[in-house]
Structure 1
Amino acid sequence: MTTQAIHVQGLEKSYKELRVLRGVDFDVARGSIFALLGSNGAGKTTVVRILSTLLKSDAGTATVDGFDVATQPADVRESISLTGQFAAVDETLTGRENLVLMARLRRVKGPGQVADDLLARFQLTDAAGRRVSTYSGGMRRRLDIAMSLIGNPPVIFLDEPTTGLDPQARVEVWNSVKELAGQGTTVLLTTQYLDEAEHLADRIAILHQGRIIANGTLDQLRQLLPPAKVEYVEKQPTLEDVFLAIIGNDDTGADDPTTARTAKEQR
């Protein structure tokens, strides 16, 4: 087995006159988080759709878990899981029922135990018996990722997993993604958020106008800029810092920041 979970070389894709991918090359090491960073329309989702066998490329080659996406699509599909930009969960079912249903569809033994294990892994046990329609955005996203792990796929694609989530929900998803890689799953993450790629990825590739224009670790990418000058700057907290500091892990359910702050002072 190679050390590369994903190998992409010379990938091209066009829609009539629009060239979306113009020769994309990158490798993803097993058990790592690889971020494909780019603005809207850069071609990130197109790459994911090709790697997950939902779309055929015009040129180039790609392998996932050692299988060619063009000639061995069935093997690729057995090796991966794909989580799109919107949570694909049934809101009329409970969280546990969603997981049990997916386990049965994938013919996994002991679907009930599998569901319970994933609920615990993603801190959803307390909400297991609630309908998903009552879940927050972060909880739905974590449930969606949990469903994608049924069957233990070695490779998972996360296509902009935090789009539309509030700051606290984003942190919840980030923690779940880091846990995946920590347990050996290879994660290819597409995002347009710079802080997300910086926070999560072992390696970052910047996709721009259909080409990879930079690829490396965060430290390697930083070296592309001139050496930093040391200056004294008084750093002010960002609004996200303030928001997360105020709500913290407060479980009082208070929506008003003043109420939340008062609850903390009373502890």
Structure 2
Amino acid sequence: MFDTHVNLHGDTYAEDLGEVLARAREAGVSRMLAICDRLDNFPAVLGIARAHADIWCSIGVHPHHSKDFTDLTVAQLVEGAEDENVVAIGETGLDFHYGYSEEQDQVRSLKTHIEAARQTGLPLILHTREADDMMGDLLEEAYAAGAFTPLLHCYTGGERLARRGLDLGAYVSVSGILSFKSAREVREVIADIPMDRLILETDCPYLAPVPMRGRRNEPSYLVHVAEALAALKGLPIEEVLETTTQNALKLFTRVRG
């Protein structure tokens, strides 16, 4: 399995990261992508990737933090992405649910990340919450100026954004939310997305899947996300694991093995 979205830096796993990674490997998670949420956290995220042969990382600024990096440049992202351990740009995007950053700051940051993804050829990890229409419009406008590969991460948006993303060659990642009893609308959208565009993630330490809900999430729980997808699609779990892993390797072309 390939856990394509893990948040390993910071205090959450500070005391037992080695044990968490050991459990992940024992559960069959052979690759992980550590996500950068703030540019000042990039050294820590990159350090984790450099220290482990089965972990890679991204470089980017989460939309919540875009207000703190209003001077972010394409050159900063491109330079950081020169390291062979960096396999994606982001996580970036638009989140109007909490409003931690103003719309103009989020949009400016997103456009900067898009250009960095275009210049590097690396996939663009996108977070979208309560911004489906604006995200779709921005992606289509930017794509018309030059191709890049979007990844709609931890997808909980509507059918229309999913379709618009797929039309641009996007991949869609599913998380433990797919297993939540309350996530009927998410399952309806994911049910219609072709298997060759789907990948798996935990988004740990958040969103632990059923039957682990309520606990601190970790990569070893990825199998439960796969089980939820297999049940939704009516496919054997082995087929889901093989397909989603191969999809992730196609998307993150710098990942070895």
TM range (shorter): 0.3 to 0.5
* TM value normalised by structure 1: 0.36
More helix by share: 2
Larger radius of gyration: 1
Given the two structures, how large is their TM-score scaled by the length of structure 2?
0.37
More strand by share: 1
